[in-house]
């Protein structure tokens, strides 16, 4: 969704940028401060705790007065954006992989992740909705669902960010300056984080894996790509992100055929 700029009406005031806003939460930017408004205080609590526990750079918490959390902007620029080529160097992508490995090696956070049954149920429901509502062709959904289901196997849980989109990782040159948006942090599958980071940026998967420094099953990362995209299309469509035909997630699904 294109950010909305609300112009200041008084001299000396900072502009207020609506970064994201929907029925679950909203994030505003005022100068170098982000104000996150979340109606789910348990989720906000988990985000604050995850940032405190994470062994990698996170935003500074300036203050908290529920339902508002104020955090400082991190330096640098986003590693990339879904649907657009990344301008970051291969070394920056490798540094992101190394940061993810450091996170995964840290002690587990207290928040449990979704169960395999819950993930399987959500995948089934979303696929059925996509086909029943003619949002995507049935063969596209079926093929990607088969791929996605291979990700649903037992794994050893690690400390996962849970929503490690490429634009949640900030870099300056080849160094990681901060990782933002920890509201989904929990115990989970290491390959899920690696998949979300490289979603739509297949050309940098090798750089990330090199920085991560461990053998990974790339087929399972590909499976998580399909699962992530299949389960996100309805949410994006219902929250005003445009036509599904134009979603980068749908382009990823098509590339899997």
What are the structural domains of the chain?
74-255 (3.90.1200.10)
Determine the pLDDT at residue 241: 87
Predicted TM-score (pTM) of this structure: 0.92
Counting Cβ atoms within 10 Å, is residue 200 exposed (0-12), middle (13-18) or buried (19+)? buried
Instruction: Identify which of 156, 228, 175 has the alpha carbon closest to the alpha carbon of residue 197.
Output: 228
* pLDDT tens, N- to C-terminus, the chain (257 residues): 444 444 443 345 688 999 888 878 899 999 999 999 998 999 999 999 999 999 999 999 999 999 999 999 999 999 999 999 999 999 999 999 999 999 999 999 999 999 999 999 999 999 999 999 999 999 999 999 999 999 999 999 999 999 999 999 999 999 999 999 999 999 999 999 999 999 999 999 999 999 999 999 999 999 999 999 999 999 999 988 899 999 999 999 999 87
């Amino acid at each position: 969704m294109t950010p909305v700029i609300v112009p200041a009406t008084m001299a000396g005031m900072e502009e207020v940028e609506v970064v994201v806003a929907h029925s679950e939460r909203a994030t505003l930017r005022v100068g170098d401060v982000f104000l996150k408004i979340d109606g789910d205080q348990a989720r906000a609590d988990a985000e604050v705790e995850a940032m405190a526990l994470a062994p990698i750079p996170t935003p500074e918490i300036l203050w908290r007065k529920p339902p508002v959390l104020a955090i400082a902007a991190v330096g640098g620029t986003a590693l990339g954006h879904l649907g657009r080529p990344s301008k970051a160097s291969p070394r920056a992508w490798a540094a992101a992989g190394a940061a993810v490995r450091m996170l995964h090696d840290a002690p587990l956070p207290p928040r449990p992740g979704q169960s395999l049954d819950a993930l399987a149920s959500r995948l089934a429901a979303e696929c059925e909705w996509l086909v029943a509502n003619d949002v995507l062709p049935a063969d596209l959904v079926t093929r990607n669902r088969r791929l996605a289901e291979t990700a649903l196997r037992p794994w050893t849980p690690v400390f996962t960010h849970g929503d490690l989109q490429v634009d949640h990782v900030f870099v300056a040159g080849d160094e990681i300056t901060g990782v933002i948006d920890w509201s989904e942090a929990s115990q989970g599958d290491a390959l899920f984080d690696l998949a979300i980071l490289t979603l739509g940026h297949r050309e940098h998967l090798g750089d990330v894996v090199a920085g991560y420094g461990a053998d990974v099953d790339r087929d399972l990362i590909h499976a998580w790509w399909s699962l992530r995209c299949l389960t996100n299309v309805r949410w994006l469509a219902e929250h005003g992100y445009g036509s599904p035909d134009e979603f980068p997630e749908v382009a990823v699904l098509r590339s899997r055929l």
